[in-house]
């Protein structure tokens, strides 16, 4: 298969190059850039020096030659390529937010400040959170070329943490707020320079950003709402992203209310609480039993970004607070892999009928 990457000069593009180069079913890779076409990819990413990755094409030329296309462009910039792909009969995997909201243009526009360019493309698109939509993706792909709206990094981490709790096996507080507190490495901000990403301004420090206003909020909300509706109940979500002084990884700590406790004294968790935690952990393990890339960690272990570094795994650790009334699920992904390029490759594998693990089997690297 000949795969193409449009937007190869961004960080998600670089990661797609890295993953697709090692994919057993991809025998050729085409790269394109809107702004750097005609240049060598080496002039942009010097780590790719002398690797024979070729010259950056124009997106148009890439679309005309590739067998499957990845779009790693800012929101609003890729719809025409998606359309061109469909017209040519090939699938398009989009890493922006353009196709994450399906036909709900209103929500997309409210948060991204953009209209849909070709609204009708949503007749052929599917939201690509594999663990949620695998069968839908497969079904749609069986009918012809598709567009996949590859999920955001935070929505992937947070949704996978919350899904088993919302899916029905647990008693959770009706109307309670789910709080997702997450921290990302600086690659999440992309390759564009910015004061906040200048090493001396973020090195050796931690800070929140876009509190109460991050664009991933409605995507997380929608995912949780879908899962919750299987059981009934109202969805409420608070999401706060932070920036930490590391390169890769997202750690999300998700708080899910299990009911209204009595308050009272603050004492260490009882043995009952520990037993309850084990039960919930078992629910989580069962929920993800067949998932190739979700690992529910055993008791006594906590998710950590370096435990999934450079891999497509999402690690989940399941805890209760001392009172046993709040479920705390910690989720760790590599934001560039499961949070972007890796999940995009996973979606390609599903669409094209490859082994879902193909090209994604590298073990996590602690460092």
Choose, by CB under 8 A, the member of 91, 96, 156, 317 that binds a copy of itself: 317
Find tokens 């699920």 and name the residue. Answer: 329
Considering beta carbons, is residue 100 or 309 the nearer one to a copy of itself?
309
Query: Going residue by residue from 239 to 268, which x/- string records binding to a copy of itself, judged by CB under 8 A?
Result: xx-x-xxxxxx-x-x-x-x--xxxxxxxxx
Whether the CB-CB separation of 218 and 112 falls below 8 Å is answered with: no
Distance separating alpha carbons of residues 294 and 287, to the nearest angstrom: 10
**Residue 87 Cβ, how far from a copy of itself at the closest point, in Å?**
32
Query: Does residue 70 touch a copy of itself according to CB under 8 A?
Result: no
Whether the CB-CB separation of 142 and 135 falls below 8 Å is answered with: no
| Interface segment toward a copy of itself; rule CB under 8 A; list 44-52, 56-64, 119-127, 129-137 | 44-52
| Interface segment toward a copy of itself; rule CB under 8 A; list 92-100, 144-152, 174-182, 344-352 | 174-182
Query: Does residue 238 touch a copy of itself according to CB under 8 A?
Result: yes
**Residue 88 Cβ, how far from a copy of itself at the closest point, in Å?**
28
How far the first Cα of the chain sits from its last, in Å, is 32
Q: Is the dihedral of CA 61, 64, 66, 72 positive or negative?
A: positive
**Residue 143 Cβ, how far from a copy of itself at the closest point, in Å?**
31
Query: Does residue 223 touch a copy of itself according to CB under 8 A?
Result: no
Buried b / exposed e over 144-176, threshold 16 CB at 10 Å, is: ebbbbbbbbbbbbbbbbbbbbbbeebbebbeeb
Distance separating alpha carbons of residues 335 and 341, to the nearest angstrom: 9
**Residue 166 Cβ, how far from a copy of itself at the closest point, in Å?**
13
Query: Does residue 231 touch a copy of itself according to CB under 8 A?
Result: no
**Residue 163 Cβ, how far from a copy of itself at the closest point, in Å?**
17
Considering beta carbons, is residue 135 or 366 the nearer one to a copy of itself?
366
Query: Does residue 16 touch a copy of itself according to CB under 8 A?
Result: no
Write the DSSP assignment of 89-110 as a string of letters: T-EEEE-SSTTSSTT-HHHHHH
């Amino acid at each position: 298969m000949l795969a193409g990457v449009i937007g190869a000069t961004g960080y998600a593009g670089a990661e797609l190059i890295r993953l697709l180069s090692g994919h057993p079913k991809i025998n050729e890779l085409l790269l394109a850039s809107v702004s750097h076409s005609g240049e060598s990819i080496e002039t942009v990413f010097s780590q790719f020096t002398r690797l024979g990755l070729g010259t950056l094409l124009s997106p148009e030329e890439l679309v005309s030659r590739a067998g499957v296309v990845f779009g790693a462009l800012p929101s609003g910039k890729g719809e025409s390529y998606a359309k061109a792909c469909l017209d040519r009969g090939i699938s398009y995997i989009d890493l922006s937010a353009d196709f994450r909201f399906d036909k709900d243009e209103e929500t997309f526009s409210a948060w991204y400040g953009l209209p849909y360019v070709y609204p009708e493309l949503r007749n052929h698109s599917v939201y690509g959170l594999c663990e949620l939509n695998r069968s839908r993706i497969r079904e749609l792909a069986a009918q012809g070329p598709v567009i996949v709206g590859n999920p955001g990094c935070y929505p992937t981490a947070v949704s996978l943490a919350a899904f088993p709790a919302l899916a029905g096996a647990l008693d959770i507080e009706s109307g309670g707020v789910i709080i997702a507190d997450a921290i990302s490495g600086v690659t999440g901000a992309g390759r564009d320079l910015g004061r906040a990403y200048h090493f001396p301004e973020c090195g050796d420090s931690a800070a929140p950003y876009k509190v109460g206003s991050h664009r991933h909020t409605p995507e997380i909300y929608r995912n949780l709402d879908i899962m919750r509706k299987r059981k009934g109940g109202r969805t409420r979500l608070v999401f706060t992203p932070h920036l930490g002084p590391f390169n890769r990884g997202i750690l999300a700590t998700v708080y899910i209310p299990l009911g209204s406790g009595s308050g009272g004294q603050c004492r260490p968790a009882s043995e009952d609480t520990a037993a309850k935690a084990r039960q919930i952990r078992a629910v989580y393990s069962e929920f993800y039993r067949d998932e190739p890339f979700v690992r529910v960690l055993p008791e006594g272990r906590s998710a950590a970004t370096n435990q999934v570094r450079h891999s497509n795994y999402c690690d989940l650790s399941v805890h209760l607070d001392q009172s046993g009334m709040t479920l705390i699920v910690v989720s760790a992904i590599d934001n560039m892999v499961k949070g972007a390029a890796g999940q995009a490759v996973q979606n390609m594998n599903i669409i094209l009928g490859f082994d879902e693990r193909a090209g994604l089997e590298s073990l996590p690297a602690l460092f």
